[in-house]
């Protein structure tokens, strides 16, 4: 049974991906900061599951968690680098430095910390598949998105670099770039302001986390000679970061 590690599995795209991969026959390592949510999810799955509770922004905790995996969960076939968030929305000259740190630490450094802990095993086995969850924002900046857009642009660049570096080791690297997906994302960005969060998706049908998860499951179940390297996944009502067809 193939084994997948999913970061940020306690909610949103990560949670939906865990369910989709379990249905595809994967054993799972689920990571996140909220153990109760991970445990609740694990109870719903019929596949072998191992839980790790840590913050990807903490390098020492990340390294220790991956090193603690029991033997049955060490040979990771698929890594889904999903953990990350947006914090705040405003012009660069008024930016909250704490928000900047939180985004860069999770979206960029967290991805690197997890990858650095997992990739040596993949290279030793000469096989593996890494999927980084980026964003349309990493390819098209938008007003007031500055540091979030920059963090996702870094994910795009890292994905390309990882694909080059890992090519000799038979490891596939891919990036999934969703547009508007209705998850806890907007609530986190607006620090729990539900009215502002709801307004993001008002007047059109956004993607669901399950829509993204289905694409990820499709990607990792392709034959070994196939790598769907980049996916831009948008709701039908979205044409760019700023262009939506909203109901009147």
Question: What residues are annotated to the active site?
Answer: 148
Q: What is the DSSP string of 32-92?
A: ES-HHHHHHHHHH--S-EEEEE--TT-HHHHHHHHHT--GGG-S--EEEE----------G
User: Contact 215/15 with Cβ under 8 angstroms?
Assistant: no
From the list 228, 162, 184, the residue with the least C-alpha distance to 8 is 184
> At residue 154, what are phi and psi to the nearest 5 degrees?
-65, -40
Whole-angstrom distance, CA of residue 102 vs CA of residue 84: 9
Contact at 8 Å (CB) between 235 and 41? no
Rounded Cα distance between 81 and 49, Å, is 17
């Amino acid at each position: 049974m193939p084994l997948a590690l999913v970061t940020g599995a306690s909610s949103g795209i990560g949670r939906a991906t865990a369910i989709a991969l379990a249905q595809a026959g994967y054993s799972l390592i689920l990571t996140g900061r909220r153990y109760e949510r991970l445990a609740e999810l694990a109870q719903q799955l019929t596949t072998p599951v191992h839980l790790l509770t840590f913050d990807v922004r903490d390098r020492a905790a990340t390294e220790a968690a991956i090193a603690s995996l029991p033997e049955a969960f060490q040979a990771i076939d698929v890594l889904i680098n999903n953990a990350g968030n947006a914090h705040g929305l405003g012009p660069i000259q008024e930016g909250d430095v704490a928000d900047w740190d939180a985004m860069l630490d999770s979206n960029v450094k967290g991805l690197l910390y997890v990858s650095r802990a997992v990739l040596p095993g993949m290279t030793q086995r000469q096989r593996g598949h890494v999927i980084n969850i980026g964003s349309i924002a990493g390819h098209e900046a938008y007003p007031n998105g500055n540091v979030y857009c920059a963090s996702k642009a870094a994910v795009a660049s890292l994905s390309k670099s990882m694909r080059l570096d890992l090519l000799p080791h038979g490891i596939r690297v891919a990036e999934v770039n969703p547009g508007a997906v209705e998850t806890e994302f907007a609530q986190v960005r607006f620090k729990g302001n539900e009215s502002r969060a709801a307004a993001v998706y008002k007047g059109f049908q956004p993607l669901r986390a399950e829509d993204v998860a289905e694409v990820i499951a499709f990607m990792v179940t392709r034959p070994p000679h196939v790598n769907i390297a980049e996916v831009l996944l948008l709701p039908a009502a979205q044409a760019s970061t700023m262009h939506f067809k909203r109901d009147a």
